Amino acid sequence: MKKRYVGFAVWLVLTCLLYFFENNTDTRIVLACTLLMPFVPVLRRGLFEKDTVSQQPKAIPQTIKTFETREEDDPGDVRAYLPGDPVNRIHWKLTAKRDELLVREQAKNKTAEEMEIKTVLEAEQPAANKLKKHIFLIGFSIFLFSLMLLLMIPSANQGMQALLNRLFDASEAVNAYAYERFDVPADQPVAFAAVLLSLIGLSLLGMTLLSGSRFLALGLMAACVLFQIYFGLAFPFWVNVPLFALFVLWMMKRPWKRKVALTALTGMMIVSMAVLLLYPGVDAATEAASETVRDRLSQMAQSITGTTHEQPAGENETRHVHTQTLTAGGQEARTDREYRLVTVEEEQISMPHWVDYLRIVLLLLLTVALVILPFLPFLLLNQRRKKALDARKVFESENVNEAVFAIFQHVAAWLEATGHGEDNTPYAAWHADLSPDYVQRFTACEKLFEEAAYSTHEMKEEDRQQALALLNETEQALQQRADWKQRLRLKYKECLWV
């Protein structure tokens, strides 16, 4: 099973490598199509899984039946003939032998039916899991396939670029440089690209639905953030809020909640992206906000890296003019190709400085870490200490056996923490270097402990007092003997001891 997956992976990597190093478009199409090949049997099995499930139990009762007929020769399965029994149930061989009419018992057939039901019930569970896995694989293959087609087939590729252009048109004021990158006429047909993109979206959605994987969410989020930063696109806030929510969800532990929420959010993200791609239209306010953010970021980058960008004198004015043009009407801004030449300097600013951004992020993380770090041990230890105190509540339990047991466990933990006993050795081998007086009391208490742990006797109140006295004595003795390092260690252990 695992070998097969390794084989798949190797084959996938090889295909992808070939695909990227191959220049001939036709060969690449063929390669992309072969990508779907190994998933065909999976696809078939995945889709027709239900049939095989319903077929399986049919085969099992048959084997039971043959087994039954063999057992019917056993005289234990027959009874005397009663009027009304069908003739074909008469056991002729035994009848001849015993000189009376004997009939085969029917009782066992019922158990066979029960078994059938059971096997059907049992078979369904793993089949459902398998189906899930198969659908996941299919989604993955469709995702890869669409992505490759999108990247490779000229019409699809150009269609996507045209789609992107539409998007950039909307935020032309800051993204003029994009025109140089995607030099595709705006009237390029986009239907093919849209279909492929929606395929990608759907398969991603399906995969999220099935797996509830946190990494998928993280990847999606990262992609969105990159998209925003790199292209300077300011999504409206109803996209960014779910983005944050996605991150929170990524940290959540309940798998099913995560799954449902993730699916909803992925769907939302995909829809919002599609809307942005197909019906671009960014209002001036968002545009201005995005502008300010970018300015601030570049200023921060400058102050951090120490490098100063050449600030063209008229920049602010040009920007002002552009904002005005935008407010005047997006249509006008979109067609303004001359604009490119004017904003060459601005392009330099709006071009992302990856290293700088990375530094900013790292610095932020470092600051947060530095703020949190000193409090961390206290937070952790305090929680543990609370738990430790809770554990001591058992000492007052009404069940004396339980109390004695818990007390002795504490004593053992103390001794273990100071190196007087080893993990799995019997208690008799412990306390080697303690005073003989103490050893005597310890041994007596060990007897109590054994009685508490393994017998069904009711123990008395004195026993609890004796155990408590031993615990106190142990604590005091060990504290006295310990040097400061060990004392610290003991304090820590006391917190840890739950």
Partner 1 sequence: MRLEMEKVLAEIEKVIAGKREAVTKILTALLADGHVLLDDVPGVGKTTLAVALSRAVGLNYKRVQFTPDVLPSDLVGFSMYDRQSGGFSYHPGALNDANLLLGDEINRAGSKTQSALLEAMEERQVTVDGVTYSLQKPFLVIATQNSVGAAGTQFLPYAQVDRFLVRLSLGYPDYAAQMEMLKNRQGVNPMDQVQCVMTRDVLISMQKEVQQVVSRDAILDYITRLTLASREHEAVDVGISPRGALFLDRMAKAHAWMDGRDFVTGNDVQAVFRDVCAHRVLLKESTNQTVDDVLNDLLRTVENPDRHSRGMWKQ
List contacts with partner 1 (CB under 8 A).
Answer: 399, 401-402, 405, 409, 412, 423-428, 449-451, 453-457
**Residue closer to partner 1 (CB basis): 239 or 452:** 452
Q: Shortest Cβ distance from residue 294 to partner 1 (Å)? A: 59
Q: Shortest Cβ distance from residue 429 to partner 1 (Å)? A: 10
Q: Shortest Cβ distance from residue 457 to partner 1 (Å)? A: 8
Q: Shortest Cβ distance from residue 493 to partner 1 (Å)? A: 16
**Residue closer to partner 1 (CB basis): 11 or 427:** 427
**Residue closer to partner 1 (CB basis): 28 or 410:** 410
Q: Shortest Cβ distance from residue 425 to partner 1 (Å)? A: 8
Q: Shortest Cβ distance from residue 498 to partner 1 (Å)? A: 10
Distance CA 425, CA 463 (A): 24
Q: Shortest Cβ distance from residue 467 to partner 1 (Å)? A: 15
Q: Shortest Cβ distance from residue 450 to partner 1 (Å)? A: 5
**Residue closer to partner 1 (CB basis): 88 or 424:** 424
Q: Shortest Cβ distance from residue 411 to partner 1 (Å)? A: 12
Q: Shortest Cβ distance from residue 275 to partner 1 (Å)? A: 56
In this structure, is the dihedral angle defined by the CA atoms of residues 469, 471, 475 and 481, taken in order, positive or negative?
A: positive
**Residue closer to partner 1 (CB basis): 150 or 412:** 412
* CA–CA distances in Å: residue 239 to residues 202, 224, 273, 475: 18, 10, 9, 59
**Residue closer to partner 1 (CB basis): 341 or 428:** 428
Q: Shortest Cβ distance from residue 477 to partner 1 (Å)? A: 21
**Residue closer to partner 1 (CB basis): 135 or 403:** 403
**Residues, the chain, total?**
498
**Residue closer to partner 1 (CB basis): 235 or 449:** 449
**Residue closer to partner 1 (CB basis): 109 or 409:** 409
**Residue closer to partner 1 (CB basis): 255 or 419:** 419
Token representation of residue 108: 């066992």
**Residue closer to partner 1 (CB basis): 257 or 457:** 457
Written in H, E and C, the secondary structure of the chain is: CHHHHHHHHHHHHHHHHHHHHCCCHHHHHHHHHHCCCCHHHHHHHHHCHHHHHHHHHHHHHHHHHHHHHHHHCCHHHEEECCCCCCHHHECHHHHHHHCCCEEECCHHHHHHHHHHHHHHHHHHHHHHHHHHHHHHHHHHHHHHHHHHHHHHCHHHHHHHHHHHHHHHHHCCCCCCCHHHHCCCCCCCCCHHHHHHHHHHHHHHHHHHHHHCCHHHHHHHHHHHHHHHHHHCCCCCHHHHHHHHHHHHHHCCCCHHHHHHHHHHHHHHHHHHHHHHHHCCCCCHHHHHHHHHHHHHHHHHHHHHHCCCCCCCCCHHHHHHHHHHHHHHCHHHHHHCCCHHHHCHHHHHHHCCCHHHHHHHHHHHHHHHHHHHHHHHHHHHHHHHHHHHHHHHHHHHCCCHHHHHHHHHHHHHHHHHHCCCCCCCCCHHHCCCCCCHHHHHHHHHHHHHHHHHHHCCCCCCHHHHHHHHHHHHHHHHHHHHHCCHHHHHHHHHHHHHCC
The alpha-carbon radius of gyration of the chain (Å, integer) is 38
